[in-house]
Chain A
Amino acid sequence: MSTPPTDGRGLAPIVARHPFCADMSVADVALLAGCAENVKFAPGELLFRNGAQANSSYLLRAGRVALVVHGAGVAETAEAGELLGWSWLHPPYRWHFDARAETAVRAVRLDGDCLRRKCEADPRFGFDLTRRILFQVTRRLERSRLHGLDVFRGAR
């Protein structure tokens, strides 16, 4: 369960320090922070559920999150310093897996509606944000490729 929403602009220094925002301008950090809220999860708590409305990105600050694909178990874990979630970018805005806190987790939740509005209002910001997210997606795709090759499978 998240803490009640606060005025995100105060989170600007925390947002700025997150690796996702490396080399981001002060103005853009402020834009992000305006959509941000501080959140905490206890071990075992779900950040979000498969099939539910996807309206957030999470900048993970501490702890580990398991990405659980229904019927297949834990596909991957996400850790502090990573960005989790971008399904707010495209309709139907739904999560494709569960995200479960393995340990105590601290994160900054970025609100999807807020981000979409700001991207549409400021295309340059939108482009930069989308490019950063695309980079994360590319990395995930690479890892999935290697993961899917099941390189350690036995020979016999």
Chain B
Amino acid sequence: MTAAPLKDPWVPTPMEVQQVIRETADTVTLTLDASARPLHFAPGQFNMLFRLGFGEVPISISGDPAEPDKLVHTIRSVGATSHPLTTVLPGDVLGVRGPYGSAWPVEAARGSDVLIVAGGIGLAPLRPAILQLLRNRAHYARVLVLYGARNPADLLFLRQLHHWRGRFDLDVQVTVDRAPADWFGPVGVVTRLMERARFDPDDTVVMTCGPEVMMRFVVREAEHQGVPPQNIYLSMERNMKCAVALCGHCLWGPDFVCKDGAVFRWDAVAHRFDHPGL
């Protein structure tokens, strides 16, 4: 009488923490061992991460899509459920559900300039896109990465940023909101970097991730410079409990952010921002 057992989307898969890198005072990057069952994901997707005794939160995958046996996540401690994920040690086991969500248009951007604008922890969900892009660098025209954070101590992936800056085929600019005396780079918001960036607005794909307010300013600047709305992509965040379009928390207009996003094309969602509290 009972139906055949179904794969249960609510149940996490245990995965061991291989490595913990402390990026900043409140952010860590975890590498999970997925070698038993490699998790193929697209840049921009996320997993639900579960820690026994605590709970579960959505975390963007921040690693290289070409290495699915290692699941990398960058987590910022912002509340009672994310904090325990930032205190794990190698050997601890977390539960994983995923990957979920829509992807950055890395393939579709081939042949165009690519402008990546990240703010704060927003660089984490963009890193897989950057890595995939760099593996196929010849397929793109100009590639720019503009990154802003509150202050130098909050910059993520410093070593990788330096490595990227060292490439001759990549334009990497970093700015901070607040600068200590020993910072000699640009100071100011990341849209400032856009004003000076060299790209062809008629043929550029913009991918941006960061606080929602920041993304809206970035989009406005991109449109101001002539980038058509269908070439601009942003990653939205909403409260999520299930990540499989069953709990209703992430509803945004006609979309479930967990299923139809988190990456959205700007022209499809622009008008939603006209209605505060939607």
- Whether the complex brings A and B within 8 Å at their CB atoms is answered yes
Q: Is the CB of B150 within 8 A of A153?
A: yes
Residues of B within 8 Å of A14, CB to CB, are none
Tell yes or no: B178 within 8 A of A by CB.
yes
Residues of A in contact (CB 8 Å), total 24
Q: Is the CB of A77 within 8 A of B188?
A: yes
Query: Could you tell me the distance between the alpha carbons of A154 and B188 in the complex, rounded to whole angstroms?
Result: 18
Total contacts A to B, CB within 8 angstroms?
62
Residues of B within 8 Å of A146, CB to CB, are 189, 191, 213-214, 217
Tell yes or no: A121 within 8 A of B by CB.
no
Q: Is the CB of B187 within 8 A of A77?
A: yes
Tell yes or no: A90 within 8 A of B by CB.
no
Query: Could you tell me the distance between the alpha carbons of A64 and B184 in the complex, rounded to whole angstroms?
Result: 9
Minimum Cβ distance to chain A for residue B139 (Å): 30
Tell yes or no: B177 within 8 A of A by CB.
yes
Q: Is the CB of A79 within 8 A of B213?
A: no
- Could you say which interface size class chain B belongs to? 20 to 34
Q: Is the CB of B214 within 8 A of A74?
A: no
Minimum Cβ distance to chain A for residue B69 (Å): 33
Interface residues of A in 133-156 (CB under 8 A from B): 139, 142-143, 146-147, 149-156
Q: Interface code A57-92, partner B: CB below 8 Å = 1, 0 otherwise?
A: 000000010100000011111010100000000000
Query: Could you tell me the distance between the alpha carbons of A143 and B52 in the complex, rounded to whole angstroms?
Result: 43
Residues of B within 8 Å of A64, CB to CB, are 184, 186
> Which among B178, B188, B211, B213 has the greatest number of chain A C-beta atoms within 10 A?
B188
Minimum Cβ distance to chain A for residue B235 (Å): 15
Interface residues of B in 93-127 (CB under 8 A from A): 119-120
Minimum Cβ distance to chain B for residue A145 (Å): 8
Known: A146-B213, A149-B213. 10 other contacts (CB 8 A): A73-B178, A74-B178, A75-B188, A77-B186, A77-B187, A103-B184, A139-B195, A143-B189, A151-B119, A155-B78
List of 6 A-B pairs having minimum Cβ-Cβ separation, nearest first: A152-B150, A151-B211, A155-B78, A76-B188, A152-B120, A77-B187
